[in-house]
Structure formats: structure tokens, C-alpha cells
Amino acid sequence: MKAVVYEAFSAPPHLCTVPDPTPEAHGVVLRVMATGVCRSDWHGWVGHPEAVQELTGGGAHLSLDALGHPTTCCSSIACLRKRGRHVQVGLLLGDQATPALPMNLVIARELEILGSHGMQAHRYDVLMAMLRQGTLAPEKLIGREISLAESGAALMHMDRFEGTGVTVITRFD
């Protein structure tokens, strides 16, 4: 099967052939028609929207920015194909609340820009039930646990996007 492979920081991803996945007993293999890229992978693409255009045969059909930063928003839009859709989840805050969007691309490619506040508050009870039942396992998103004393250094290095997952302060000694 074909897969987009990202092998090095700041290098553009490339399309290659990889073995088809084999499901475990009682498992299933799903055909993915669209997917997203996490922020750490996206960071390697900064300044490389042409690579996404090439890898996808003309650009992505859909882009999603859940970070809420002008750079990720604009980069996502630049990766879209003609008539593509960008979804902005959540608000951009403070001095980043009104980013300069690449309207030349929006018009030339006839793009749609959609906004979403995210999950509706009246559905939180369903989310909490899924957490209690173990249907959702947010702990799998944790990449590193640090102490409060280490948090300053971690904040100063956030722009480096080292490692995977979310860094969580779990020790307060």
C-alpha cells in the first residue's frame, strides 16, 4: 500500500510503498480515505506546502488546525487542493485572534474555510461516560511526564517539538 512517510525533522515527507497491515485475531484493517497530521509532523512541513501538494496529487481535500495559531492555520490552507476545505477548531486568542489569511489561495482555489467551537458542552456527559468505561484512553497521548521544576525548561523548548505525545506535569516536589 502507499503511505506518506516522514523520516527526518524539517525534511519533506515522501510517498512510498509499505507492506499491507495484517489484523490481529478479531481485528480489522480499515481503509483510510483521509487523515490528519499532528503538530509535530506538521512542523517539519513548515515552508513545504508544495511537498503536500505533490504527495497528495494536487493538495489535501481537508485540513484541520486544532492548535489555533496563525502559522498552522495558514500552512494548512496552503496545503489544500482546489475546492478543498479548512476547518479551524477553537479560537485563536490574544494578538493572534485575527490572522492574515492567504486569501489569494482561498479565492484562486475556491476553498472553504469552516469554523468549529469543538465539542458541545451538553455532550460532555457522553465523553465522561466513555472515559469511565475505558472506551477512551487519553493517557495514551502522554509522551513524557515531568516535574514542576522541569516545566520552565520544557516551556522554553516547546518550539523544538522534540519527542511525541503531550508533556504533563505530574510531580510537584
The predicted structure's pLDDT at residue 162:
72
The predicted structure's pLDDT at residue 12:
63
**129-153 per-position pLDDT tens digit:** 999 999 988 888 888 888 887 877 7
The predicted structure's pLDDT at residue 34:
52
| The pairing of beta strand 60-65 with beta strand 80-89 | parallel
Question: How does DSSP classify residue 3?
Answer: E
All three cell numbers of 19: 507492506
The predicted structure's pLDDT at residue 44:
39
DSSP string, 133-173: HTS--GGGGEEEEEEGGGHHHHHHTGGG--SSSEEEEEE--
The predicted structure's pLDDT at residue 84:
95
- Please identify every stretch of the chain with a pLDDT value under 50, giving residue numbers as ranges: 38-45
The predicted structure's pLDDT at residue 109:
97
Task: Fill in the amino acid letter for 85.
Answer: R
For 21-88, the three-class secondary structure string (H helix, E strand, C coil) is CCCCCCCCCCCCCCCCCCHHHHHHHCCCHHHHHHHCCCCEEEEEECCCCHHHHHHHHHCEEEEEEEEE
The predicted structure's pLDDT at residue 170:
85
Task: Fill in the amino acid letter for 52.
Answer: V
Q: Does residue 113 contact residue 77 with C-beta atoms inside 8 Å?
A: yes
